[in-house]
Amino acid sequence: MAQASAATVHAHEHGSHEHKELHGVLKYLWSTDHKVIAMQYLFTGMFMAMVGGFLAYVFRMQLAFPGKSVPLFGYVSPGRYNALITAHGSIMIFWVAMPVLIAAFGNFLIPLMIGADDMVFPRLNRLSYQVFLLSVIVILSSLFVKGGGFGGAWTAYPPLSANAKYNLTPLGSSMWLMAVALEFVAFLLGGINFITTLMNARAPGMKAYDIPMLPWMVVLASIMFMLSVGPLIAGAIMLFFDQNLGTGFYDPARGGDPILWQHLFWFFGHPEVYVVLLPAVGIVLEVIATFARKKLFGYKTLLYTAAATAVLSFFVWAHHQFIAGIDPRMANIFTVTTLIISIPIAEMCFVIIATLYGGNIRLSTPMLWALAFMGEFLIGGVTGIFLGASGADIYLHETYFVLAHFHYTFFPIAIIGTFAGFTYWFPKMFGKMLNDTLGKIHFWGTIIPFNFIFIPLFILGLEGQQRRIYDFQNFPELQHLQPIRILATISLVVMLLFQFVFFFNVIRTWIKGPKAPKNPWHSNTLEWTVESPPPHGNWPPDQMPKVYRGPYEYNHPDREDDYWPQNIPPEREPTPSPAR
């Protein structure tokens, strides 16, 4: 019955979906094709990653060589430094991690992996990208307005963010807030689409537990985003009024409370960590299952741990505020919830690791990225325990230990996870095979320097170095740590230089790379049954896929081939494996 109703909805959807394929410039302005929109999100996100990386280069150079002119930028004044770190944090989270992991991979893969010809709300999807693009323009131009970009950190705590008298950036801070609000609107539109599409447009035969992990994770993330963002939007409107209309929501002199913003912000801000984590885990699971030739170790366990993480993440926010002046008794409650959330996350890691057991592991570039995600994310995970334990956070709060901790979570999520997904689905997205050797050079050239950037920063944090300081020479106890800062900066420059290998590989492949077959990795999921790249409408209308089994049937004892695509009927002989 469930199958029948899914089929009906799907047929109905397909019937109503009659927009034509557009060509030329129009295609990139008004196309409602989920793949075109996904590519727009992907390239915008990658462009913003380059911007964010450049900002990091500038302020790391200032920290290593304070007061010296930074090549390609110039002198970094304290005001500029604050604007640089604020823009780096905001851009990397809102304009890189979210558009790439959720919007780009979600848009490209959800319809393909569940066997639909497009999203259920294609026009909403188009609107989502256009609003997002507007937010990109606003955030980038905010860096160049009179007074400079907003310099109150990505957390934007009032009263600093609320009053131009304190932050000295009257235009920059309002534009920052507007850009963030627009970005939220874009992702609300996108999220509605992902959730509805997964619920209604699945291929006939695809039951809940036959859905691959990536669509599940993107949809769980979208649900979390929708539930958590409301309070922050309310908070942002109040902050905007405080900035521009002279209200006093966060001004204690007029009966407001600055800590209110912190609650509203972190009620969103902590679930946000898991909003970007889950899609990255989804990518990593698809890659690991394919390259380990293994069924996931406990599909349902994974799904439930992800859901448990999603629910628990709404009850941990005040661990960012232990020493913010909240009632000290409250810290105990949030210590308990914060440490409890380590259980589903640890279980998720155990399941990923256990999936490798009994596999036949091929270490191609996408698999290296996926395994690196696991290896590095563990460091981010365990260091979080130090900060969740309230007593230890008294010392470590707002130090470089915090900074290193969350870069060990966000870098695996937003950079390693993205590269895992990008190298894995590149053949499907562009119809060409990337060069594996160049891919591996890029991999090692990114992973090794990454550790040399952030392990030194853990040490700086343990030595008591606090964050968001443009020049540590003013602090006598921190002066002798300069060699460690220089090491981190040099590692960053090396890592950024290795990204040129990636761009070279992509451009070279684009021009003269070998053509990709339909299913180069011998994977099971439905996106590998369409042409590479998939045409408008994905499958020919009379050949829409049907699903007969779960997505991870690798090395099934009843089969000679080590994979068993979801769409192959049980009685029929498998199609011959495509040539590599």
Partner 1 sequence: MLHGLIPEASSFAGNIDWLIFLVLVLVGFWFIVAEGVFFWLIFRFRSRPGHKGQYLTGHEKHVERWIKIPHALVLICDVIIIIGAVHVWYIVKMHLPPADYTVRVTGQQWDWVFQQPGADGKLDTKDDIYTTDSLHVEVNKTYHFLLESRDVIHDFSVPVFRLKQDAVPGRTITGWFRPTETGTFDIQCAKLCGIGHGVMVGSMVVETPAQHAAWVAKNTPTSAQ
Q: Which of residues 536-555 bind partner 1 (CB under 8 A)?
A: 554-555
The DSSP annotation for 486-519 comes to HHHHHHHHHHHHHHHHHHHHHHHHHHHPPBP-S-
Task: Single out the residue of 272, 171, 181, 168 nearest to residue 234, CA to CA.
Answer: 181
**8 Å CB contact between 116 and 203:** yes
Tokens of 72: 């390609």
Is position 399 an interface residue for partner 1 (rule: CB under 8 A)?
yes
399 or 491: CB nearest partner 1: 399
If one asks whether residue 505 binds partner 1 (CB under 8 A), the answer comes out as no
Q: Which is nearer to partner 1, 13 or 251 (CB)?
A: 251
Select the residue interacting with partner 1 from 31, 335, 491, 509 (CB under 8 A): 335
Name which position in 70, 469, 490, 494 contacts partner 1 (CB under 8 A): 469
Minimum CB–partner distance for residue 431 and partner 1 (Å): 26
From the CB of 454, what's the least distance to partner 1, in Å? 15
Nearer to partner 1, 146 or 329 (CB): 329
Q: CB of 30 within 8 A of CB of 22?
A: yes
Positive/negative CA dihedral, 110, 115, 117, 123: negative
In one-letter notation, the amino acid at residue 38 is A
Rounded Cα distance between 451 and 440, Å, is: 17
427-456: contacts with partner 1 (CB under 8 A): none
How far, in Å, CA of 100 to CA of 123, rounded?
20
Judged by CB under 8 A, the residue of 65, 315, 386, 430 near partner 1 is 386
Selected binder of partner 1 within 45, 111, 151, 551 (CB under 8 A): 151
CB of 462 to partner 1, least distance (A): 6
Per CB under 8 A, contacts with partner 1 among 349-378 are: 349-351, 353-363, 371, 374-375, 378
User: Sign of the C-alpha dihedral, residues 353, 357, 361, 363?
Assistant: positive
| 315 interacts with partner 1 by CB under 8 A | no
Among 67, 74, 246, 328, binds partner 1 (CB under 8 A): 328
Tell me the closest approach of the beta carbon of residue 385 to partner 1, in angstroms: 5
- The answer to the question of residue 478 lying near partner 1 (CB under 8 A) is yes
Nearest approach, Cβ of residue 74 and partner 1 (Å): 17
Give me 494's structure tokens.
Answer: 């090396």
Shortest Å distance, C-beta 295 to partner 1: 6
Q: Residue 309 corresponds to which tokens in the numbers above?
A: 């993480």
Size of the site for partner 1 (CB under 8 A): 98
Contact flag: residue 61 with partner 1 (CB under 8 A): no
Instruction: Provide, rounded to whole angstroms, the least separation between the CB of residue 394 and partner 1.
Output: 6
Question: Which stretches within 397-481 are classed as H helix?
Answer: 400-410, 417-430, 436-462
CB 2 → partner 1: shortest distance, Å? 21
Output the CA torsion 172→176→177→182 (10° steps): 140
**Segment contacting partner 1 by CB under 8 A, of 36-44, 238-246, 293-301, 411-419:** 293-301
Name the segment binding partner 1 (CB under 8 A); options: 181-189, 192-200, 202-210, 394-402.
Answer: 394-402
In contact, 190 and 104? CB cutoff 8 Å: no
Annotate 370-416 with DSSP letters as a single string: HHHHHHHHHHHHHHHHHHHSHHHHHHHTTBHHHHHHHHHHHIIIIII
10 binds partner 1 (CB under 8 A): no
Nearer to partner 1, 42 or 63 (CB): 63
Binding test (CB under 8 A) with partner 1, winner from 7, 459, 490, 496: 459
Query: Which of 144, 475, 503, 510 is close enough to bind partner 1 by CB under 8 A?
Result: 475
- Which residues are within 8 A (CB) of 478 and not within 5 positions of it... i.e. 6 or more apart? 463, 464, 465, 472
Report if residue 11 touches partner 1, rule: CB under 8 A: no
3-state secondary structure of 399: strand
Q: Can you say whether the dihedral through the CA atoms of 165, 170, 173, 177 is positive or negative?
A: positive
Say if residues 57 and 17 touch (Cβ distance below 8 Å): no
The verdict on 296 binding partner 1 (CB under 8 A) reads yes
Residue among 297 and 406 whose Cβ is closer to partner 1: 297
Q: Closest separation between CB of residue 324 and partner 1, Å?
A: 5
Please report whether residue 58 would count as binding partner 1 according to CB under 8 A.
no
Q: Is 74 helix (H, G, I), strand (E, B) or coil?
A: strand
Q: CB–CB of 10/202 below 8 Å?
A: yes
- Closest listed residue to residue 169, CA positions, set 87, 66, 235, 258: 87
**Region binding partner 1 by CB under 8 A among candidate stretches 29-37, 145-153, 189-197, 235-243:** 145-153
- By the rule CB under 8 A, 332 interacts with partner 1: yes
Of the pair 270, 295, the CB lying nearest partner 1 is at: 295
Q: How far is the CB of 499 from partner 1 (least distance, A)?
A: 25
- Span 207-266, contacts to partner 1 by CB under 8 A: 252-253, 257-259
d(CA 43, CA 231): 30
Q: Where are the alpha helices (DSSP H) in 31-77?
A: 34-64
Q: How far is the CB of 311 from partner 1 (least distance, A)?
A: 17
CB atoms within 10 A of CB 33: 25
Residue with Cβ nearer partner 1 (99 or 380): 380
d(CA 304, CA 310) in angstroms, rounded, equals 10
Look at residue 467 and give its three-state secondary structure.
coil
Shortest Å distance, C-beta 463 to partner 1: 5
Residue 318 has which token pair? 């005040």
Q: What is the per-residue binding string for partner 1 in 164-193, x denoting contact by CB under 8 A?
A: --xxx-------------------------
Report the nearest approach of partner 1 to the CB of residue 222 (Å): 26
Long-range contacts: 384-388, Cβ < 8 Å, 24+? 384/342, 384/409, 385/339, 385/342, 387/319, 388/316, 388/319, 388/335, 388/338, 388/339, 388/342
